[in-house]
Amino acid sequence: MKTFFRLIALVKPYFWWMALAALIGFATTGSGIGLLMTSAYIIAKAALQPPMVTLQLGIAGVRFFGLARGVFRYIERLISHNITFKILAKLRLWFYDAIEPLAPARLMHFKSGDLLQRVVDDIQSLENIYTRVLGPPLTALLVAALMWFLLGVYSLQAALLILCFHSLAGIGVPLLTRQLSRGLSVGIMNRKAEQQVLALDLFQGIGELQLYGQLPAHLAAMQSAESGKLQLQRKNAIIEGLHESLTGLLMNGALIAILWALIPSISTGVVNGISLTVITLAVMASFEPFLPLPSTLKHLEADQLAGERLFEILDAKPETVAPLTPLPFPAEHSIQVEQLSFTYPGSDTKALDRLTFTVLPGEHIAIVGPSGAGKSTITSLFMRFWNSSEGSISIGGHNITLFDPEELRRQIALVSQRTYLFAETIRENLTLAAPDATDDDLKKALTAAGLSHFTAKLDEWCGQHGMKLSGGERQRIAIARVLLQHAPIMILDEATANLDGVTEREVTQTLNAISSGKTLITITHRLKAMEQYDRILVLEKGKIVEQGLHRELMDGNGLYRRMWELQHVAEMTG
């Protein structure tokens, strides 16, 4: 129940609105009971052919309760849905605020489909926390108290009987159906999560599945997941029908028992025939709010599972946090890396091992090495996606852990190997770097990045993951974002690795042009135009094994020269 109480704490600010909605829900059901009671009174009384004036009270009651029931129902739905939407909005904002500091380090162990299921469906399922979990029991409890009072006026025995049958309908039937449906809600949610992952894998990897002949097997797995979900849903529907039947059976049992208790009182004059008719219909109507209660426990189980899945992510400690009093970013941008080491969680091998180097303001350096040497790890540490295990990175003489991570990332422009474009327009993808940029600013950036033909297409849709654009165009949009960012430090992490030779040369020239006067760190395994760099660091197994100018490294007989010869011999023979 710990998860349930944590969820309750999230909706606590809406307590008085929820209480008001419960009271109006009770008034709605009470109006329905009153409508049936007054209707029964008129029908039974009219059968005795009394003077018309004696029916006026009943007629007024029918009119009042008939109108009140509709009005109260509308107000109750208005308030309860308003609460539900506010709760959902609060939950979504709360979840995003909590999950954003965890990216990317703490989220790398989750599949994207599973994360999507948690962000969308799990939060969506929590809309039931009031309308299906908290509201119905409160309404049923108030109706039970009302019937206790009404029947207690005529007979204590009848009041006790209605209390027993209401208890069975409100506690016994829900517990029975919960026992029968134990695990169904969890199973259905797990199947949905499995389907989400499989569907996302299908859409994103359909080419690879076709290439290796695994598409039929993947479709079979999707069909199996769907069949399993439908089987659980059918069982769930049968149990729902069972609990409605049991509640109806209890209503009939309560009616018979109360009639048995009250009929002897007719001879004593405590109850007359008209009152007995009124009580009969009131008892029947009083079971209406007990019908949703068995579903309450099932929704509670589903909400607890959804809460556990959300809290599993949110309880993770962020890898990086902002200091309480962050330092302003310094005007002097020299970079010092001292004894920098890092080991990924779950690994025994150091990705970086005691790196030490300095980058002066405006200096252009290249960090090269074979795949797996630890080059991209340096980028992750500079951007504070991770914290170093040992050693430090300083800018302007201050450790980067003393800066606000968001401010640090605004001051370091990154062009990575994989440029992510959202399924939005070119304009919206560009304004990520500068939300206040004007159309003129966007067009200048596109022109400088070699995309002058895009200046008239700012509102053109980029496609899912930017797939409507070529690889070179996506990289150039990344360059345009860097231009709009106006950051004094640039990091190029395999920025041209996936481009063809002609596009790579054009993008490299553009990057060289825009990095003039800025501090530039290029991370690459492709040794192209190395002569332009002020210094080259050669990385192997997380250590700096060589450093110097291109000509100096070529005069040696180390890793750099071997890499150069292998790449350029391969190019010449290719």
pLDDT tens digit sequence for 476-522: 888 888 889 889 999 988 877 766 777 677 777 777 777 888 899 99
Chunked into runs of 10 residues, the chain (574 residues) has average pLDDT values of 78 84 87 86 79 78 88 89 83 81 72 72 76 82 89 86 91 85 78 83 84 89 90 85 85 90 78 81 87 79 79 78 89 92 85 92 91 86 88 93 91 86 90 90 86 86 83 85 89 77 74 83 86 91 91 89 81 52
Same domain, 561 and 517: yes
> Do 493 and 557 fall into the same domain?
yes
- What is d(CA 395, CA 408) in angstroms, rounded to the nearest whole number? 10
Question: In terms of domains, do 299 and 340 share one?
Answer: no
**Could you report the per-residue pLDDT of 526-566, keeping only the tens digit for each?**
888 888 899 999 999 899 999 999 999 998 888 999 888 88
**How many domains is the chain built from?**
2
Are residue 102 and residue 9 in the same domain, yes or no? yes
Measure the CA–CA gap between 168 and 152, rounded to whole angstroms: 19
Residue 34 lies in a domain: yes
In a domain, 38, yes or no: yes
Whether residue 127 is found in the same domain as residue 233: yes
CB count within 10 Å of CB 78 equals 12
**Has residue 495 been placed in a domain?**
yes
Q: Are residues 364 and 264 in the same domain?
A: no
Nearest to 483, CA basis, from 522, 432, 529, 532: 432
195 inside domain: yes
Q: Are residues 356 and 279 in the same domain?
A: no
Q: What per-residue confidence (pLDDT) applies to 201?
A: 85
Q: What are phi and psi of 512, to 5 degrees?
A: -60, -40
Q: Is the pTM of this model over 0.85?
A: no
Final residue before a domain boundary, out of 314, 349, 378: 314
Ramachandran angles phi, psi of 135, nearest 5°: -65, -55
Domain match, 363 and 223 both: no
Quick one: 148 and 64 in the same domain? yes
The pair of three-digit structure tokens given for residue 489, joined into one six-digit string: 């430090």
Instruction: Look up residue 266 and give its two tokens.
Output: 């007719």
Instruction: Quote the CA–CA distance of 333 and 134 in Å, as a whole number.
Output: 56
Contact 383, 409 (CB under 8 A): yes
Q: Which of 280, 314, 348 is the last residue of a domain?
A: 314
- Alpha carbons 255 and 87: distance in angstroms, whole number: 40
Total residue length of the chain: 574
Q: The domain spanning residue 424 has which CATH number?
A: 3.40.50.300
Please tell me the predicted confidence (pLDDT) of residue 1: 66
* Domain end point (choices 283, 314, 345): 314
CA distance 261 to 282: 15
Based on the domain organization, do 83 and 19 belong to the same domain?
A: yes
Strand stretches in 160-318, DSSP E = none
Residues 301, 418 share a domain: no
Residue numbers of the domain that contains 389: 335-573
Burial (CB count within 10 angstroms: exposed 0-12, middle 13-18, buried 19+), residue 210: exposed
Radius of gyration of the chain (CA): 35
Are 210 and 349 part of one and the same domain?
Answer: no
